[in-house]
Amino acid sequence: MSNNNNVKKTGTIRVQSQQKILAAARTEFVLQGYKGATVQSIADRAELPKANILYYFKNKENIYHAVLENTLEMWDEGIGDIDPSEGPRAAIEKFIDAKVRMSFKYPEASKIYAMEIIQGAQHLKEFARTYQRKWVREKAKLFQRWIDNGEMANVDPVHLIFLIWSATQHYADFETQILTIMNRADYEEDDVEQVIAFLSDLILRGCGLK
Amino acid sequence: MSNNNNVKKTGTIRVQSQQKILAAARTEFVLQGYKGATVQSIADRAELPKANILYYFKNKENIYHAVLENTLEMWDEGIGDIDPSEGPRAAIEKFIDAKVRMSFKYPEASKIYAMEIIQGAQHLKEFARTYQRKWVREKAKLFQRWIDNGEMANVDPVHLIFLIWSATQHYADFETQILTIMNRADYEEDDVEQVIAFLSDLILRGCGLK
DNA sequence: GTCTATATTGTGATAGAC
DNA sequence: GTCTATCACAATATAGAC
């Protein structure tokens, strides 16, 4: 009876703390890798005692799982879907647009994902096997139909998807290299639009759509 | 005097052991990350006692440095140079060809490199700042001249280089994902040629060269 | 729900016998 | 040059006081 009235308040602290922990963990996992990121370093970045981290997430692997899940949800939402009726040009344009904006907005999510794949995708083989494979096959079929109808050049649809993935994610994953080469400290407002314009232009022309 | 005659033999063992260690280390660093790869795991993979690893390389960081250097040398050699006199079409074709073959032949080198960049490139900022920046600016100038001469479409040369890098390295770095999506266990002979054909075709057309 | 203290394990690195 | 034994330390995770 004495603490019935602060259930909600407690819940808010819980959610806030978990969010802070996940954000801190994402950064640490990117900078130090899974093994290199210590629970202590995550705690320091989240400005919470180490024991609290383990109170909320039980162990380090659970934190990593939570971070990965979070990342995949983003991947899923951010891409949106392709509307078959709009034709190849609009479809590719929208797809590139969405992926580039995601890369610039959530570079850490892209990096976590990339590292996971590079290291063998131990934690998300199932995701690629089921969800992604299906997604790629569906979209590839759609592109193939457009090719068969003479609406775009005869390019391999699956490799086209890989090309768009790699070219767009590159701006998140290789941020450091790109900025160093361009002699800049950070990306600027214009960069997103410029990259979208460049990639849309080149890829659409490459697909015989310009 | 008693062991004068086996100096050469000893030297060979040294070189052989170092090569075995570097190969094992490269694999471990890719699979487990810098911190996750232990000296013991490298020793096990190289089939040598742990103490021998540290005898040859002093400490773990030195092993990693040696692996990185090795990787950069490959990057350097593999790409070759662009001959300004051969024109944009041959230049881009050769560049794509070289990069794709490298990716399929030395996927681990590409992966090590990618992880290093993603994590902030602490060990090779100098490399990007000096060598790579110069390389990109030189090549970009060359492309710009071709554009100004009307020999190719007006695409941003620096972003074109990024696109070719990302699209080609993708087949090494995201190997796991690509194979899973294509429902295959390994790459096959034909794959290299197919990827080269796809990328050359799309990018050349994208540059107005087809 | 928060935090301190600590048990336990594993790692990098060295000393020293062969 | 090779390898065994060991040290010093850092990490995860838990127990239990508040």
Nearest residue on chain A to B108, judged by CA atoms?
A118
Report DSSP state, residue B210: -
Residue B64, SS3? Answer: helix
Nearest residue on chain B to A130, judged by CA atoms?
B181
> What does the pLDDT read at residue B5?
39
Task: Report d(CA A95, CA A92) in Å as an integer.
Answer: 5
Average predicted confidence (pLDDT) for chain A:
91
> What does the pLDDT read at residue B3?
40
Closest chain B C-alpha to A9 CA, distance in angstroms: 37
Beta-carbon separation of B34 and A30 below 8 A: no
CATH number of the structural domain A4-58: 1.10.10.60
Q: What residue has its CA nearest to the C1' of D1?
A: B10
pLDDT in tens, A142-155: 999 999 999 999 99
Averaged over B88-97, what is the pLDDT?
Answer: 96
**Is the Cβ–Cβ distance between B153 and B147 less than 8 Å?**
yes
Cα R_g (chain B), whole angstroms: 21
In this structure, is the CB of residue B105 within 7 Å of any atom belonging to strand D? Answer: no
Cβ-based burial of B161 (10 A; exposed 0-12, middle 13-18, buried ≥19):
middle
Averaged over A129-156, what is the pLDDT?
Answer: 96
Of chain A, the end-to-end C-alpha distance in Å amounts to 70
In the numeric block, the tokens 């000296």 are attached to B39
> What does the pLDDT read at residue A15?
83
> What does the pLDDT read at residue B159?
98
Q: What residue has its CA nearest to the C1' of C5?
A: A51
Residue B185, SS3? Answer: coil
Domain ranges in chain B? 4-58, 68-206
Structure tokens at B26: 């490269």
Q: Name the nt closest to A39 by C-alpha to C1'.
A: D12
Considering the segment(s) A68-206 as one domain, its CATH architecture is: Orthogonal Bundle (1.10)
Average predicted confidence (pLDDT) for chain B:
91
> What does the pLDDT read at residue B13?
79
B68-206 has the same fold as B4-58: no
Amino acid at B123: H
Averaged over B34-52, what is the pLDDT?
Answer: 94
Q: Which of A31, A167, A207 is the closest to B163 by Cβ?
A: A167
Cβ-based burial of B183 (10 A; exposed 0-12, middle 13-18, buried ≥19):
exposed
Distances (CA, A) of B98 to A86, A88, B168: 37, 31, 9
Q: Which residues in window 57-86 of A are less than 7 A from strand D by Cβ?
A: 58-61
> Taking CB atoms and an 8 Å cutoff, what residues of chain A touch B205?
153, 205-208
- CA to C1' distance (Å), from A40 to D11: 9
